[in-house]
Structures are given as C-alpha cells and as structure tokens.
Amino acid sequence: MLSRSVVLASLLTLLCVTPAALGESTTAAVRLDKMSSDEYSQVKNTKGVVLLAVNWNRKWNCGGFENAQVRKIAFDRMPVTKPSDDAAADVVLDDVPLIFTTPGFDDYAFVVEPGEYALSEFTIKVARSIRDVGGFNAKRSFLIKDGKALGGSFEVQAGEIVYIGHFFLDCLRQPIPWRYYPDGQDAFKEYLTKIKSKYPDLDVDKAQFRLFQTTQFGNDYKLP
C-alpha cells in the first residue's frame, strides 16, 4: 500500500504548457539489469545503488485535463556542472512502455557514483482531448538554482543500497510528479522481495528506506 499527503505545493504554476520533448537519453548511471553479476561485484563496494519505481500509465481526469502521463524523470549529481539544460542528466528514467494499460509500477535499480543527487528534469504529457496534447517540462535551470535542489534530492554513499520512493502523478490541482512510498515495515519488506526477485545480485537486507527529500513533490515519512 502506498501513502500520500493531500497537501500539494505546485511548482508547475510557473511553467508553460509546451509540446513535450520525448527524445532518448543517455546516463552516467548504469541500470543494474544492464550489468553482469561480475561487473556488479567489482563495483558494489565503491558505488551506490538507488532503488525506485515509476508508474508510467496515463491517469485520467487529472488536474483539469482529460489525461496525463509521466514521461521522464531525471536526477543530477551535485554540484551540477552540466553546460546547459540540454545536456544529459546522470540518472534518467524515460523508457515509457508502449502499452499503457499495464497496472502498477516499474521497478528500477541504478548503480551510481556516491553523492547527493537533485531532481533535475521531469516531463509530463497532458491532453485536453485527442487533438489537444502538450506537456509540462521542467528543466535543471528551473529545478536547481544557486547550487540548491529546489525540487528535492537524495543521498547515497559507497556500498549503500537506498530506496528513494515510488513516483507517479498527483492530480489534486494539476498534474505533478509525486513521491509515494510503501506504508509500514511489512509493505517495505514486500517491495524488497520483489526487488530481490528482479535483481538477485542485490543484498536487499542492506537496503535502507531513505526517501527522496522534497517539499514540492512529497512529504517526509519514516518507517515505524
């Protein structure tokens, strides 16, 4: 079971509705399912692992739109030295399935350099009708200013495995990405069981519940 708060702080009031940019991206992080067991074994003590999930499905009647859909979420390692908004982020999730009716979340595990990572981009596709389609696209220049992660951040150290949240839409006022989470120890253990099945090389007993820290896209929660 995933929990959320009804309190919504909306950054999107400052964004324009524009056609969504949906190109392929490259990342500095490596998805664990793209690594062999030997490759992961060689780096597991010097790099960190980030666990998260994304629901890519359309959400209907969302924030005044007929439907909305998360299309991209990206993070950059702090301090950010990228030359422009168009430079690829360090961790990118944008592999939207071709079939949008599959329920639930897609689980991910990324092997990353240790450090603090800030939310640096997200794209949400929105539709008022089948012919009226656009999107909200927030770039790193909007989400990271003066070295501060305005949208939120997470930390992972060498040898750590950290879970940062389940990401989906909130539609209370307008479509916005929102960080959810398993509610309670039993739900978190159930999630880790799924992760172990998908990524057998991970020692999930070491996984830490360390949510993406944000005041804009979710609320703090600690396991009881």
Label each residue of 116-150 as H, E or C.
EEEEEEEEEEEECCCCCEEEEEECHHHHEECCEEC
Does residue 223 form part of some domain? no
Please say whether the beta carbons of 123 and 20 come within 8 A: yes
d(CA 117, CA 132): 35
The answer to whether residue 144 sits within a structural domain is: yes
Domain count, the chain: 1
Higher pLDDT, 222 or 158: 158
Predicted TM-score (pTM) of the model is 0.86
Is there a domain that residue 222 lies in?
A: no
8 within a domain of the structure (yes/no): no
Question: Is there a domain that residue 214 lies in?
Answer: no
Range of the domain at 182: 19-209
DSSP H or E stretch at residue 128:
none
- Rounded to an integer, what distance in angstroms lies between the CA atom of residue 161 and that of residue 44? 9
Beta bridge partners of 59: 68
219 in a domain, yes or no? no
User: If you average pLDDT over every residue of the chain, what do you get?
Assistant: 87
Q: Region 96-116: what's the mean pLDDT?
A: 85
pLDDT at 98: 65
Residues 30-59 have a mean pLDDT of 96
Q: Is residue 217 part of a domain?
A: no
In a domain, 48, yes or no: yes
Segment 191-217, tens digit of pLDDT: 999 999 999 999 999 999 999 999 999
What is the Cα–Cα distance from 178 to 168, expressed in whole angstroms?
5
